[in-house]
Amino acid sequence: MPRENLIQNVNQQDFEVFFSNLVPTNRTLDFYVDFNKCLKNKNEISYQLYKLNYLLNKENLLEAIKFIFNREGSEVFNILNLLIAVRDNRENIIFDNQFVEIKECFKTPESVYKFIQDSGLEIIFKDNIKDLNDYVFGIEVGMDTNARKNRSGKNMENYFENLLLREKFIKNKDFYTQVKNNTLDENVKKILGIDVKKFDFVIRTKKNNYYIEINFFGTNGSKPNETDRSYISIAQKFQNLKNDHFIWITDGYGWKNSKNTLKEAYSKVCMYNLANLNYFIEKLKNENI
């Protein structure tokens, strides 16, 4: 039987069953906020925040800024951008009718004062907060929501890795995470060229090597379609290899409006979702007996 037909028949489960078992979410409660990261970010600047607490509730804010400036220098003010939920103080803004990076606002006491006034922070500084450490921690929690788009995929990766570790039949030395192109076997590098930068997992059993990509699409958008085309291309390149196989683990309601696209990929790529991932685990286990 031609190698191409073998690849197309890998998915023994009917596509309609696969599609009907897609899940709406893989979010657990720890998905929403990474509190450890928020605390770490806040703690890294806690000394500066402690110094800036001196500005709170001051009647003459400009004089208080000058006092800190003369004692501590300008560096203590270089984190003020975080108080307006901007991570990078090199971001360009219009300040005093000029295009400048935010950090340029912290060069003199007068420019610091104008930054506080123009940004609206002056209202916060007067009678509204007692400790900038608590305020910045709240800001960090808010900004951390921007990282959620990356967590669904990471949750999938963690779930799969935990399955492997729990089963015991795969030793740590036989599976690898975030495997870069330049560390792949020569035969795989040859067929992929520079098209693939890394794989989420590489698993080696006694019979085969599996190169695995994992993702989760919780919402509709163009990304599922783009990923679909890319992975079909990768799977086709693997058809020429005997013991090396490409596996795609994906799930999520983001596929609901891209059913035909997913169906095409399902006919060409070996795929699993959360509902039938145990089949792949069993396959790996049997190959290691």
CATH topology (fold) of 3-28+147-287: Trna Endonuclease; Chain: A, domain 1 (3.40.1350)
Q: How far apart are the first and last CA of the chain?
A: 27
41 has pLDDT over 60: yes
For the cut 80, the answer to whether the pLDDT of residue 111 exceeds it is: yes
pLDDT for 232: 92
The better pLDDT of the pair 190, 42 is held by 42
Strand partners, 271: 248
Q: What is the mean pLDDT of the chain?
A: 88
61-92 tens-digit pLDDT: 999 999 999 999 999 999 999 999 999 999 99
Which of 6-10, 24-28, 97-101, 117-121 has the lowest average pLDDT? 6-10
| pLDDT one-digit tens code per residue, 137-196 | 999 999 887 777 666 778 888 889 888 888 777 766 688 899 988 888 888 888 888 767
Measured over the CA atoms of residue 167, residue 170, residue 171 and residue 176, the dihedral's sign is negative
So what's the pLDDT on residue 189?
A: 86
Residue boundaries of the structural domains of the chain:
3-28+147-287, 35-145
Residue percentage of the chain with pLDDT more than 70: 91
Band of pLDDT at residue 31, cut at 50, 70 and 90: confident
**CA distance linking residue 184 with residue 238, whole number of Å:** 13
Mean pLDDT of 114-128: 91
Nearest C-alpha neighbor of 80 from the set 109, 37, 40: 109
- Give the whole-angstrom CA distance, residue 115 versus residue 93: 11
Could you give the 3-state DSSP secondary structure of residue 43?
A: helix
